[in-house]
Structure 1
Amino acid sequence: MSVLTKVLGDPNAREVKRHLEWVADANELEPLMEKLTADELKAKTAELRQRLAQGEGLDDVLVEAFAVVREAARRSIGLRPFDVQLVGGIVLHQGKIAEMKTGEGKTLVAVLPLYLNALEGKGAHLITVNDYLARRDAGWNAPIYQALGMSVAVIGHEMSLLYDPDYLDETHPDPRLQHLRPITRGEAYQADITYGTNSEFGFDYLRDNMAVDLTQCVQRGLNFAIVDEVDSILIDEARTPLIISGQAQESTEKYYQYARLIPRLSLEDYTVDEKTKSASLTEDGIAKVERWTGIKNVYELEHVDEAHQINQALKAYTLFKRDRDYLVKDGEVIIVDEFTGRQQPGRRWADGLHQAVEAKEGVKVQQETQTLATITYQNYFRLYTKLAGMTGTAVTEAEEFDKIYKLQVVVVPTHKPMIRADNADLIYKTEDAKFKAVADEIQETAGTGRPVLVGTVSVEKSERLARLLEKRGVPHEVLNAKQHEREALIVAKAGQAGAVTIATNMAGRGTDIVLGEGVAKAGGLHIVGTERHESRRIDNQLRGRSGRQGDPGSSRFFLALDDDLMRIFGGERIKNMMNMLRVGDDEPIESRLVSKQIESAQTKVEGHNFDARRYLVEYDDVMNKQREIIYGERRKVLEGVALRDLVLSWVRKVIEDAVSERCESRHPDNWDIEGLVGQLGTVFPLPPFGEIPSDEFGETKEAVIDRLMQYAETAYQAKEAELTEPMMRQVEQFVVLKTIDSRWISYLTMMEHFKEGIGLRAFGQKDPLVEYKNEAFQAFQELLNDIQFEIASNMYRVQVRAEPPVPTPPPAVLTGRSRQAGIAGPAAVAGAGSPNGGGSPAPVPAGKIGRNDPCWCGSGKKYKKCHGR
């Protein structure tokens, strides 16, 4: 405890004490609530909403709302929230993070602030880590909401569901989840309370901002959200942006070629840095690759794609290991989440890395993708008016929560005292000796009737330990990425007498391990850690599975000097010390020095990871402002803003820019009117220069602009007459959306590549972030100008042709954190030829267009420089 805390008192304790005063008020209302009939209790919701409508705030109705929920929970699901759970609910309502230990009932705690904030009628979201937990939590708590007249829905990857007591799905094994009726995604967001996963909410936001019609949008305003397992979502996954992507038309053959070349290199041909997870060729390696590929200088600008693919092949070969970082299943490379050990089907590493791993494993290489829409979790969750979170482990990351999300962490007291015994680490010289000791510990502890939960860092290590136990005849269950389907079932049985469960990292998180009969007397659940994680928080999560709600329990970590963390961060020094002390391979040591060194290494890694996430959010903040502008303009278009005047204002700007360029001189005789007419004639129909009277444009620039604008408006009216006014309004919307989308997609790709190389500016004594901000500002201004010019010129080119109706394609199957999608749009609109040429339609793409062929839109540019970007 710091001196400041001793003098001023613990601020966390003071906050909890304040909340307990509100809890005492809620407790006084309990006898009154118990006397209400079911209808009277349900009517409380309308009464509270009426008070809000009359000007009271949520804090004014909090005490009564919490008392109402507590009574509804007691009647409908047989659980009465404890006082400390009400404290947790108040913390969440205030937009803070509640740290609550495992087994303290976070699922029930969330109901209190969700109900309170849903009273405003703006929706409340509960965001969790996977579909199973979202569906389970919604289904288990739905009777509480139902008793209070509120609707609750779930958005899932495959379907959306609404709790309906009159609906019965007898095929579901859990009776509590049999009343969830399939509905549309839009209906799920209209429910008072909506449960779902972080990726589903995030991707729905991106899809809404790619929609070509307002009816395709599903989300309403982002009002209040509680993020369950907040450390996992806002910290562990924060560096992985949400990406919706489409396929790029590039050959995949070179990935196989480079995957065959890299293993031929010797160790001196490349360097690998496991701390930063990077790999690069040495000069000898570059020379060999150039000789083998026939490329004269692989790092010249014209070979930038080849250099990138070679580097990704090197990373795939040196840094990414099968059964640790990914699995190969049914001819596909499936990523394994490094924090939870869960499979991430559909998620793909970006920037060609996934293709490099596929080529390395000899499976089919899928084409690289082009980013259509992207946002980081940091920026998505900061869109909510009020954000809260809950987890068992948040204090170690309190600084990051505060600096990035402006979220304060409050530790909520446990209902019963924690009595788990956390034993000192045992350090062995080798991994073989460590695993032998782990197997001894498991066999000995399980033999006393106590259950054992073993945490490993990878699928490979969990299977190695499983084989060791098999040889000894010790019954066990393995819970890792390959067993995801049976996850909840395995975890549910992990607390039975003598049960041995091997779990990869925190697989199974979110499901309580309940002790079986007689287990508490035997000493409770014993936790065995087989390696320290690079984050103290993950170690604490593993320990936290034991000792729930005052249960007895214990934990111990077993380490080896060749563990990744020890090897990367100074294990050699400890090894020399052990050799000097003549410690045998099978003898463990317990050392304060070693424990301090491990903690120091973890602190270093945590600091490095925090810097990386802060670096990401600082750069993405630049794109975030720009994203908000683009998405804001798109939304106005979808909501039916009058586009005619807007388009004509952009036409006027095109004219003004052209006049500024061609009429620089103060003397009208020196103006390039012929060049001006020729230039603008590519945008809207103008008579040939020779047919325009010499005094047509007057003596001032304003007069020239006004006369040219008359030509533009006349041509626009002619186009309206040709298409009819209702059709013209549809065409305006289509052209504006299509242009914004295509240019934005190209811009995202350009800025991604630009960000990759911006770090090199530091060699020129320049701050890369400042340079990025300056150049991004300039690039965005150019983007806006390009969008306006392209819309202005395309509006005069469009032709409408009748086509047979095209059946609506089924929605894309979107999974993981990187998703494939297309942007749909009205098929009836096609580009036209030169506006001067009398309106012959431009060719519409049929089959594949070569990158160097003229673009189909009639712009005169190559396809790769126009719509192929």
Structure 2
Amino acid sequence: MLYEFINKIRLKNIYRQIKKVEKYNVENMSNEDLKQAYKESQNIICKLAVVQEAVYRILKIRPYKEQLMCAYALYKGHIAEMPTGEGKTLVAVMTALLLKDTVHIVTVNDYLAKRDYTLMKPVYDFFDVTVDYNCKNKNKQNLYSNQVIYTSSSELIFDYLRNELKPVFQFPLNNVIIDEIDFVLLDNALSKFSIATGKYENINVENFKIAKEIMPMLKYKKVSKRSFINYSEEKGVHCVYSNYYGTAYFTDEGMNLIEKIFGKNVFYKNINLYKALLATIEANLLFENGRDYIVKDNKIILINRANGRKMIDSKLDSYLHTAIEIKENVPVTLKNSLNYSMSYQVFFKKYKNMVGMSGTIYSAYKELEEIYKVPTIIVPSHNKNKRLDYADLIFNTKEEKYEYLSYYLKYKWDKEQPVLIVTGSDLEANKVYEILENNNIKSNLLNSYTDDFENEIINNAGIRGTITISTNMVGRGTDIKIDNNIKNARGLKLICLNRFLDKRIDDQVRGRTARQGNIGECVFYVSLEDEIFDYMNSHEYRKFIKLIKTTKRNITEMLDKIQEDINVRNYKIRKINFILDFVLEQQKLSIEAWRNHLKEKDISFILEHAKDKTIKKMVYKNYLTFGKELSTKLYLNLVDYIIDEQYLFLRSDMEDIKHYLQYYNLPEKDVVTEYERICNKQVDIFKSITLKLIENHFATAKIDKIMWKG
């Protein structure tokens, strides 16, 4: 393939540079000479040799060739695939020391940020490079003055959003190194990170309560992928939904019923009621407690399905989030708060230099290169893979799968070998834990409710005879240490109870065993009732039905094909979302340019554009009363205050429009065109409203009542 050829060329060029590292005789240099060479050398290869030697002296670990290649590739602006368990933490510190300016090293959670900072701080201290790790209780202004910061992706984006709304310091957007970059930019691409702005829009909670009450009156039809595109509305069905497309909508019969319930005139005059109804059916049909979110401390905590972890402080759009809260009978949190949101896709594109690593880049290289314009490279493994991958075990039902798991652990399992059982959700993890408990099989449970004990559970997972049940949160950034006395036996036994919708997640899970050249075993248990089989199209389904009547041998190949199909579909969704988010960012830049244009003017600009004669007279009267200097100050403050306030309402409206555009079933190109048209129209309305508000506020201002901004 072309990519393999290109990758060989890239590797060859990098390897040629890394060979030069050996030519620098740094082993005999004193510590002071090493520090001096690091500060003064302009040669990046010399600098890499110095950093490698310092790492060895401080950590007693000598970075090997592949780690040096990966660090150099990141320095040169690549996204790199490096097999799991081969020392990406060490690569990150070497890359950070090569780069100029500030560097943010992004991990998948706060625990890993603190762990990596603690491990690597002595190396930074050696070179007098300031470093810290990010957490909620830090003084953010002091934190971001450091040259290197270890941080979780979520804490970083929330800091940026808070500083955007209320600037306290200059947020550095120079270099970012993202560990597990495919998880952040692909698996989390559709996640929105929101903070409350202190501004308000009223969401009528009663609309959601009414919607919840009429849910039992409606008849629902779940349509699989294989039937959705050619689905013809059936009599007696009011609402159709598809997990594959993430879509729920009312049929014509459903709309007729709703019109009868509310009255045609009342319903069509209340767009917010329709939005509440649509959000309610989405919340009840597409979102599941224990899979997409959990209820903890009487509030909704979203779960990232790509890794099973809690997404603290993350919210869905205000209507959908409110609908889920009403569904679960917890306090409503967004009914008045106007939120400012941003996706990882938009945020990380703001950095001057964005690079990253993962153990699963190959299957996503096209998307990363096309959307983010960053070249990718596959770094070869340093350690030979000693993992034994067994063929998938196929069962007819989920119950058969769980029964076999209990049977295996009771009668066939080597009791000396540690076992890691990976499940698809909190619901499944809890169920498997109970099944094993009922069979007198002792195990430890790691899920969204027990993640506070993650470190302890993971530390025990490699001990002989230990059974650990986990969601796929164990799939990234986690290193299970295996007892030395079983390393040469069979290592960690990994049993995964699902094939995930994305093959990259399967590969990440496999990477939990046989790390760093150790021995390990992996097997997937698959039942024909698993979620992945709902994603087949009509042709695949007919072939599948015929196949299972004869043999189950080729089902694994079919699963691979389904995953490929899902990846193509998800790529299209992420791409269109990225384009629409980019349109929003362009809208923001346009408004900032208009703000600057207004601030170059003075109050005479308002006098020229005011159409209401009464308001015009009042503006002129206040201008004479305040004088030119005070009038100009008030005008400039009003420009900033009103644009900031109105932009939040505009942004909220545009996010809503983006969400509901999916129900128009437009081609990709038409979606972008329509969104751009709406964006431009909304900006014109925004400008008109903003100018009128500036006129009215200035006209009615009282000298002793003015609250100055800044």
- Report the TM-score, using the length of structure 2 for normalisation: 0.90
CA distance in 2, matches of 1:503, 1:432: 19
Does the CA contact (< 8 Å) of 2:194 and 2:315 recur in 1? no
Give the letter for the 1:609 counterpart.
Answer: N
Q: Secondary structure at the match of 2:61?
A: coil
Structure 2 counterpart of 1:154? 133
Structure 2 counterpart of 1:845? none
Displacement after TM superposition at 1:829 (Å): 7.3
Aligned length, in residue pairs: 690
Does the CA contact (< 8 Å) of 1:426 and 1:590 recur in 2? no
2:61 aligns with one of 71, 79, 86? 79
Does the CA contact (< 8 Å) of 1:536 and 1:602 recur in 2? yes
Q: Secondary structure at the match of 2:86?
A: coil
Q: Is 1:101–2:56 an aligned residue pair?
A: no
Displacement after TM superposition at 1:617 (Å): 1.1
CA spacing shift, 1:463–1:337, aligned 2, 3 Å: same
Displacement after TM superposition at 1:788 (Å): 4.9
Does the CA contact (< 8 Å) of 2:615 and 2:696 recur in 1? no
CA spacing shift, 1:631–1:67, aligned 2, 3 Å: farther
Deviations 1:363-383 (A, max 9, x none): 223343554433321121111
Structure 1 counterpart of 2:677? 774
Q: Is 1:17–2:35 an aligned residue pair?
A: no
Structure 2 counterpart of 1:239? 190
Structure 2 counterpart of 1:515? 482
1:525 aligns with one of 492, 496, 509? 492
2:181 aligns with one of 184, 205, 230? 230
Displacement after TM superposition at 1:755 (Å): 3.3
Give the letter for the 2:704 counterpart.
Answer: R
CA spacing shift, 1:313–1:784, aligned 2, 3 Å: closer
CA distance in 2, matches of 1:390, 1:619: 26
Structure 1 counterpart of 2:225? none
Structure 2 counterpart of 1:205? 160
Deviating more after overlay: 375-384 vs 197-206:
197-206
Structure 2 counterpart of 1:680? 616
Structure 2 counterpart of 1:259? 212
After TM superposition, list the pairs within 5 Å mapping 1:550-561 onto structure 2. Answer: 550-561=517-528
Deviations 1:35-93 (A, max 9, x none): 33333333334324xx4xxxxxxxxx211221121122122222221111000101111
CA distance in 1, matches of 2:394, 2:242: 25
CA distance in 2, matches of 1:436, 1:208: 53
Displacement after TM superposition at 1:789 (Å): 5.5
1:314 aligns with one of 281, 288, 298? 281
Structure 2 counterpart of 1:449? 416
Q: Secondary structure at the match of 1:545?
A: coil
List gaps (5 residues or longer) in structure 2. 221-236
CA spacing shift, 1:283–1:234, aligned 2, 3 Å: same
Deviations 1:554-587 (A, max 9, x none): 2111111111111342686477447744xxxxxx
CA spacing shift, 1:795–1:646, aligned 2, 3 Å: farther
2:145 aligns with one of 155, 168, 190? 190
Give the letter for the 1:314 counterpart.
Answer: I
CA distance in 2, matches of 1:370, 1:606: 35
Structure 2 counterpart of 1:112? 94
CA distance in 1, matches of 2:263, 2:11: 67
CA spacing shift, 1:557–1:311, aligned 2, 3 Å: same
Does the CA contact (< 8 Å) of 2:444 and 2:469 recur in 1? yes
Q: Is 1:36–2:29 an aligned residue pair?
A: yes
Q: Secondary structure at the match of 1:242?
A: strand
CA distance in 1, matches of 2:592, 2:413: 57
Structure 2 counterpart of 1:821? none
Give the letter for the 2:15 counterpart.
Answer: L
Q: Secondary structure at the match of 2:647?
A: helix
CA distance in 2, matches of 1:484, 1:555: 24
Does the CA contact (< 8 Å) of 2:587 and 2:679 recur in 1? no
Displacement after TM superposition at 1:792 (Å): 5.7
Does the CA contact (< 8 Å) of 2:52 and 2:62 recur in 1? yes
CA distance in 1, matches of 2:491, 2:593: 55
CA distance in 2, matches of 1:105, 1:755: 41
Give the letter for the 1:241 counterpart.
Answer: K
Give the letter for the 1:347 counterpart.
Answer: S
CA spacing shift, 1:251–1:94, aligned 2, 3 Å: same
Deviations 1:105-153 (A, max 9, x none): 1011011111111xx3x31111122111111111211110000110002
Structure 2 counterpart of 1:141? 120
Displacement after TM superposition at 1:528 (Å): 1.1
Give the letter for the 2:647 counterpart.
Answer: W
Deviations 1:259-279 (A, max 9, x none): 232134334332221211222
Q: Is 1:132–2:87 an aligned residue pair?
A: no
2:588 aligns with one of 627, 632, 644? 627
1:617 aligns with one of 564, 578, 600? 578
CA distance in 2, matches of 1:225, 1:480: 29
Deviations 1:229-282 (A, max 9, x none): 101100011112233334533332332332232134334332221211222233
Does the CA contact (< 8 Å) of 1:207 and 1:217 recur in 2? no
Displacement after TM superposition at 1:297 (Å): 5.5
Give the letter for the 1:47 counterpart.
Answer: E
What is the root-mean-square deviation in Å for CA atoms of aligned residues?
3.0
CA distance in 1, matches of 2:676, 2:116: 43
Does the CA contact (< 8 Å) of 1:466 and 1:476 recur in 2? yes
CA distance in 2, matches of 1:87, 1:369: 52
Displacement after TM superposition at 1:597 (Å): 1.9
Q: Secondary structure at the match of 2:301?
A: strand
Deviating more after overlay: 789-798 vs 376-385:
789-798
Q: Secondary structure at the match of 2:478?
A: coil
Compare relative contact order (CA 8 Å, sep 6+) and give the higher one, 1 or 2. 2
CA distance in 2, matches of 1:449, 1:316: 45
CA distance in 2, matches of 1:438, 1:762: 43
CA spacing shift, 1:445–1:730, aligned 2, 3 Å: farther
Displacement after TM superposition at 1:763 (Å): 7.2
Displacement after TM superposition at 1:486 (Å): 1.0
CA distance in 2, matches of 1:284, 1:124: 57
Q: Is 1:277–2:255 an aligned residue pair?
A: no
After TM superposition, list the pairs within 5 Å mapping 1:109-508 onto structure 2. Answer: 109-117=91-99, 120=100, 122-156=101-135, 158-160=136-138, 184-211=139-166, 216-220=168-172, 222-246=173-197, 247-267=200-220, 268-291=237-260, 293-296=261-264, 300=268, 302-368=269-335, 371-443=338-410, 446-507=413-474
Structure 1 counterpart of 2:51? 69
CA distance in 2, matches of 1:298, 1:432: 49
2:561 aligns with one of 600, 604, 612? 600
Q: Secondary structure at the match of 2:115?
A: helix
CA spacing shift, 1:446–1:486, aligned 2, 3 Å: farther
Give the letter for the 2:137 counterpart.
Answer: M
Does the CA contact (< 8 Å) of 1:448 and 1:522 recur in 2? no
Give the letter for the 1:754 counterpart.
Answer: I
Does the CA contact (< 8 Å) of 1:801 and 1:828 recur in 2? no
Deviations 1:477-502 (A, max 9, x none): 11111111011221222222222111
Deviations 1:410-466 (A, max 9, x none): 111111111212221121111111112233344456425222211111111111111
CA distance in 2, matches of 1:45, 1:729: 52
CA distance in 2, matches of 1:499, 1:632: 61
Does the CA contact (< 8 Å) of 1:45 and 1:149 recur in 2? no
Deviating more after overlay: 15-24 vs 601-610:
15-24
CA distance in 2, matches of 1:196, 1:359: 34
